[in-house]
Amino acid sequence: MTDPHDSAGLQGKAGHNLPPLRLHVPEPPARPGESADFTHFDIPAADAAPRPDETAQPATMRDMAYGLVRVLDENGAAVGQWNPNLPSETLLRMLRTMALTRAFDARMFRAQRQGKTSFYMKSTGEEAVSIGAALALDRDDMCFPSYRQQGILIARDWPIIDMMNQIYSNKGDRLKGRQLPIMYSARDAGFFSISGNLTTQYPQAVGWAMASAARGDTRIAATWCGEGSTAEGDFHSACTFASVYRAPVIMNIVNNQWAISSFSGFAGAEATTFAARAVGYGIAGLRVDGNDVLAVYAATRWAADRARANAGPTLIEHFTYRVEGHSTSDDPSAYRSAEESSLWPLGDPIARLKQHCIALGIWDEDRHAAMDKELAELVRDAAREAEKNGILGHGLHHPMESMFEDVFEEMPRHLKEQQQQMLDEWKAAGL
Amino acid sequence: MEGGGAVSDVMTQDAGTDVQQMNMIQAINSAMDVMMERDPTVVVMGEDVGFFGGVFRATAGLQQKYGKNRVFDTPITECGIIGVAVGMGAYGLRPVPEIQFADYIYPALDQLVSEAGRLRYRSAGEFIAPMTVRSPFGGGIFGGQTHSQSPEGIFTHCSGIKTVIPSTPYDAKGLLIAAIEDNDPTIFFEPKRIYNGPFDGEYDTPATSWAGHADAQVPTGYYRIPLGKARIARAGGALTILCYGTMVHVVEHTVAMLGLDAEIVDLRSLVPLDIETIEASVKKTGRCLIVHEATRTSGFGAELLAQVQERCFHYLEAPIERVTGFDTPYPHSLEWAYFPGPVRIREAINKIMKD
Ligand SMILES: Cc1ncc(C[n+]2csc(CCOP(=O)(O)OP(=O)(O)O)c2C)c(N)n1
Ligand SMILES: [Mg+2]
């Protein structure tokens, strides 16, 4: 009889002349106080990546999961096979949408710091990932985002005041103050209700896409999660379903290299790329410069055309960097080198597109400065308007009894009783 | 080692150990520190617990002290974290995994319920899962529906899992040590609203800290509080109130406001349950109120109510009442209407004491 309480192997097997095993626990290249080093990270030339046919068999394009799709080179020129050759107005729209998203983030972050709401999450430095994709999709394609793709709503011209009402959980909030700030839902923008539970949206997007295919629809689905979230089982279930049913879905991994305090190595980045997850599932995989909005646009367009041609799903890794803290509850100076964000070799997505537009002669520094000023005023005015509907914790919320609505389509007796009990108790207490 | 979970009245403690003022986070940190020092098989893991020391700082300093082989960050997969902990337990380690928020424990349910909770049974004791799953739970921090839930009733419903919930720094440390030493899988839910100070349920008054609180005087060394032994938080004769976690403080405050001679029983552990203490108290007072923050239907209060009714029916002078969270998801802006605070507890007490 073995004794389960005394470990079988703790002493090791004496007499066996074998080297001891070692546990590998990943460690990021730089911690606070150390200098950041990205020299290990080699960037292929902007025009290096080939562009396979949209209907290519996944097995013929595995290299794409280890390379890097780029369009904008170091001088701001659009080069190579992936250049989407966009008209000027689209380029300027991209620029403005990214700048508006950044201004919105700045304002709402400040609102949280001023105590007007409980929580906020910025997407600084990652704007291209959601905006490049949103502009490459059709307006009626369905998006299943994580919490860091506010850029999709902004790109789809969703009113920012509606987003602010949600952030303030005020009486203008369509979600009735039920959700944590930034956990938007906007069905009319093709934007699925955001969950706080990581990666649950991945299989849901696949399911939506399967339904669209089964019904002979023409709309496709797209979903996003962070690189850290790819560890969740839901990610892998989604890939399996997407592969088996060749679902018309685009699965985006936003590799911003950090998941709160743990670096991408804890999601497997020391061993391979995130795009390479596609290889094992027999899905087309693309690895993209996520700070190059034209590359994001082009890759999304490729994947959307592929899905519409019934050629199956695409997994896209967007390589980017999380410039700010994870959320308003986080202080990254406690776990990563302060230098990292400034040394990140793929730069800033807004600066890069701006450089490109200036090089094309369709934009200049003065116009850019004027735009930034205008957008700062725009979000300030919208925030003031939204604040008229109330800020968190200052009374202007949805009625208390609304808490019991929408649990079910029809309120069952026990909830009606609880609702009445709550009202009676507050009344008895003179509140 | 056997009998780690047995109910015993003895509190074992290292002789001559110093006492320090600690908040609940520090007490929990100290419990892991003490156990890692005493037992080389104890390992701590979870999302952000390593270098950073946890999003609530509960594991701060442990990786620096015990190294990355024993304290490490994990990938973000709760199912993976608990599955790996089952495997480490099978090897002979004593894992203390953290699930960052109780709201994120659901992906791990299969590994907890079907695996950890049944391993001893299905292998007739050949394999065990001696893990302690730490997880912050409960609301009151404007965390919305995914940072506020109290899922303890899901686990008490399943066989083979112990469920422990402390309400003070002193208890948190002693109970966590007992849970780590216990050879069965234990869910250790930490009421995050009272990490930094007791909370009386009056959300619009300034937060208090643990400083100066008698139960925040915590021995720096080893001591254990046996699992399955309730604490009489306040002795009294008028009414028995059963509660745990944050609600102990809300109940204490409400009772003090009413000037009522209630007996407040802090359950500390739901499975195993100290039914003897509960029974003795209810037989003495003849009245019983049950308070928890979790939703009402099939909540642990229903089990308490059934057991009290079975054992104390002939002693009861009024129907047993429950004050609980409502059967809705935890709302963000209406958090304080949802939270079972002093207003609702007082109404229930009035009802029970009416005749
Ligand atoms: C199931 C689940 N587990 C844990 C968490 C806590 N959590 C929230 S965000 C996060 C990190 C996610 O990192 P990543 O996927 O890289 O996304 P990013 O924040 O970088 O966009 C964690 C651990 C959660 N929300 N849900
Ligand atoms: Mg990330």
User: Which chain B residues contact residue A331 at CB under 8 A?
Assistant: none
Distance from residue A299's CA to the centre of ligand 2 (Å):
20
Q: Which of A228, A259, A397 lies closest to B334 in CB terms?
A: A397
- Residue B68, chain A, CB below 8 Å: the answer is yes
User: Which chain B residues contact residue A232 at CB under 8 A?
Assistant: 76-79, 107
Are A194 and A184 in contact by the 8 Å Cβ rule? The answer is yes
Q: Judging by DSSP bridges, how do beta strands B71-73 and A284-289 pair with one another? A: unpaired
Q: Which of residues 298 through 357 in chain A touch B, CB cutoff 8 A?
A: 329, 334-335
B188/chain A closest Cα distance in angstroms: 21
Are B42 and B97 in contact by the 8 Å Cβ rule? The answer is no
pLDDT tens digits, residue range B109-155? 999 999 999 999 999 999 999 999 999 999 999 999 999 999 999 99
Q: Judging by DSSP bridges, how do beta strands A258-259 and A262-263 pair with one another? A: antiparallel
- How many angstroms separate the Cα of A261 from the Cα of each of A125, A299, B99? 18, 29, 15
Residue B240: helix, strand or coil by DSSP?
Answer: strand
CA closest to B339 among chain A residues: A422
User: Which chain B residues contact residue A2 at CB under 8 A?
Assistant: 126
Are B92 and B137 in contact by the 8 Å Cβ rule? The answer is no
A339/chain B closest Cα distance in angstroms: 18
Q: In what order do the strands lie in the sheet with B42-46?
A: B71-73, B42-46, B94-98, B132-137, B186-191, B162-164, B269-271
Q: Which of B107, B296, B332 lies closest to A179 in CB terms?
A: B332
Are A335 and A32 in contact by the 8 Å Cβ rule? The answer is yes
- Residue B74, chain A, CB below 8 Å: the answer is yes
Residue type, B210: W
* Cα Dmax for chain A: 82
pLDDT tens digits, residue range B221-247? 999 999 999 999 999 999 999 999 999
Residues forming a β-bridge with B241: B264, B289
pTM for the whole structure: 0.95
Does residue B315 surpass a pLDDT of 80? yes
Ligand nearest to the CA of A126: 1
**CA dihedral angle for residue B231, residue B236, residue B241, residue B243, rounded to 10 degrees:** -20
**Cα–Cα distance between B113 and A144 in angstroms, integer?**
30
Q: Which of B91, B334, B344 lies closest to A9 in CB terms?
A: B91
With an 8 Å Cβ cutoff, are A25 and B51 in contact? no
- Residue B72, chain A, CB below 8 Å: the answer is yes
Nearest to A269 by CA among A23, A26, A24: A26
Phi/psi for B234 (5° steps) reads -150, 125
Are B54 and B46 in contact by the 8 Å Cβ rule? The answer is yes
Write the CB contacts of B271 (distance below 8 Å, at least 6 apart in sequence): B155, B156, B161, B162, B163
Q: Which of A4, A196, A400 lies closest to B144 in CB terms?
A: A196
**Cα–Cα distance between A115 and B187 in angstroms, integer?**
34
A271/chain B closest Cα distance in angstroms: 14
A23/chain B closest Cα distance in angstroms: 7
B297/chain A closest Cα distance in angstroms: 9
B2/chain A closest Cα distance in angstroms: 8
Residues forming a β-bridge with A78: A72
**Cα–Cα distance between A411 and B144 in angstroms, integer?**
22
User: Which residue from B55, B73, B100 has its CB within 8 A of the most atoms of ligand 1, so it is best to mutate?
Assistant: B100
With 0-12 / 13-18 / 19 or more C-beta atoms within 10 angstroms meaning exposed / middle / buried, residue B313 is exposed
Nearest to B172 by CA among B29, B326, B3: B29
Nearest to A201 by CA among A226, A225, A177: A225
CA closest to A10 among chain B residues: B92
Phi/psi for B77 (5° steps) reads -155, 105
- Backbone Cα Rg of chain A: 24
**Cα–Cα distance between B153 and A360 in angstroms, integer?**
63
Are B343 and A425 in contact by the 8 Å Cβ rule? The answer is yes
Are A401 and A179 in contact by the 8 Å Cβ rule? The answer is no
Are A243 and A216 in contact by the 8 Å Cβ rule? The answer is no
**Cα–Cα distance between A416 and B6 in angstroms, integer?**
43
* Mean pLDDT, rounded, for B73-94: 98
- How many angstroms separate the Cα of B216 from the Cα of each of B22, B26, B236? 5, 10, 23
Q: Which of residues 354 through 383 in chain A touch B, CB cutoff 8 A?
A: none
* Mean pLDDT, rounded, for B206-231: 97
Distance from residue B100's CA to the centre of ligand 1 (Å):
10
Predicted local distance difference test score (pLDDT) of residue A396: 83
Mean model confidence pLDDT for chain A = 95
Q: What is the DSSP letter of A193?
A: P
Predicted local distance difference test score (pLDDT) of residue A131: 98
Does residue B9 surpass a pLDDT of 80? no
Length of chain B: 355
With 0-12 / 13-18 / 19 or more C-beta atoms within 10 angstroms meaning exposed / middle / buried, residue A222 is buried
| Catalytically annotated residues of B | 147
Share of chain B above pLDDT 90, in %: 94
Where is B95: in which H helix or E strand? strand B94-98
With an 8 Å Cβ cutoff, are B337 and A400 in contact? yes
Ligand 1 first shell, C-beta below 6 A: A 148, 196-198, 225-229, 254, 256, 258-260, 322, 326; B 47, 76, 78, 100, 104, 107
Using N-to-C axis directions, what is the helix angle for A413-428 and B342-353, rounded to 10°? 90
pLDDT tens digits, residue range B160-194? 999 999 999 999 999 999 999 999 999 999 999 99
Residue B13 banded pLDDT, cuts 50, 70, 90: low
Distance, C-alpha B188 to centroid of its chain: 5
How is residue B59 written in tokens?
């594991």
**Cα–Cα distance between B325 and A423 in angstroms, integer?**
14
Write the CB contacts of B252 (distance below 8 Å, at least 6 apart in sequence): B200, B233, B234, B264
**Cα–Cα distance between A330 and A16 in angstroms, integer?**
48
Low-confidence spans in chain A with pLDDT less than 50: 1-9
- Residue given tokens 């597109």 in the structure block: A353
Q: Judging by DSSP bridges, how do beta strands B321-325 and B288-295 pair with one another? A: parallel
Write the CB contacts of A147 (distance below 8 Å, at least 6 apart in sequence): A121, A182, A183, A194, A196
pLDDT tens digits, residue range B25-34? 999 999 999 9
Distance from residue A254's CA to the centre of ligand 2 (Å):
7
CA closest to B351 among chain A residues: A425
User: Which residue from A180, A229, A255, A341 has its CB within 8 A of the most atoms of ligand 1, so it is best to mutate?
Assistant: A229
Are B183 and B130 in contact by the 8 Å Cβ rule? The answer is yes
B53-58 long-range contacts, Cβ below 8 Å, gap at least 24? Answer: B54/B98, B54/B100, B55/A260, B55/A261, B55/A329, B55/B100, B56/B25, B56/B136, B56/B192, B56/B195, B57/B25, B57/B29, B58/B25, B58/B28, B58/B29, B58/B32, B58/B98, B58/B134, B58/B190
Predicted local distance difference test score (pLDDT) of residue B84: 98
- Residue A233, chain B, CB below 8 Å: the answer is yes
With an 8 Å Cβ cutoff, are A10 and B326 in contact? no
With an 8 Å Cβ cutoff, are B41 and A169 in contact? no
Q: Residue A407, Cβ neighbours under 10 Å: how many?
A: 14
A109 torsion bin: left (phi>0), alpha (psi -120 to 50), beta (else): alpha
CA closest to B120 among chain A residues: A4
Are B153 and B8 in contact by the 8 Å Cβ rule? The answer is no
Distance from residue A290's CA to the centre of ligand 2 (Å):
13
Ligand nearest to the CA of B76: 1
Sign of CA dihedral B236, B242, B246, B247: negative
Predicted local distance difference test score (pLDDT) of residue B7: 37
Residues forming a β-bridge with B295: B325
- Residue B302, chain A, CB below 8 Å: the answer is no
- Residue given tokens 């999450």 in the structure block: A121
User: Which chain A residues contact residue B48 at CB under 8 A?
Assistant: 260-262
**CA dihedral angle for residue B189, residue B192, residue B193, residue B196, rounded to 10 degrees:** 120
With an 8 Å Cβ cutoff, are B91 and A8 in contact? yes
**Cα–Cα distance between A138 and A402 in angstroms, integer?**
35
User: Which chain A residues contact residue B1 at CB under 8 A?
Assistant: 5
User: For testing the chain A interface, which of B106, B205, B333 should be mutated: the one with the most A CBs within 10 Å?
Assistant: B333
Distance from residue A264's CA to the centre of ligand 2 (Å):
7
- Residue B12, chain A, CB below 8 Å: the answer is no
- Residue A231, chain B, CB below 8 Å: the answer is yes
Quote ipTM for the complex. 0.94
Exposure letters B171-205 (e unless 16+ CB within 10 A, then b): bbbbbbbbbbbbbbbbbbbbbbbbbbbbbbbeeee
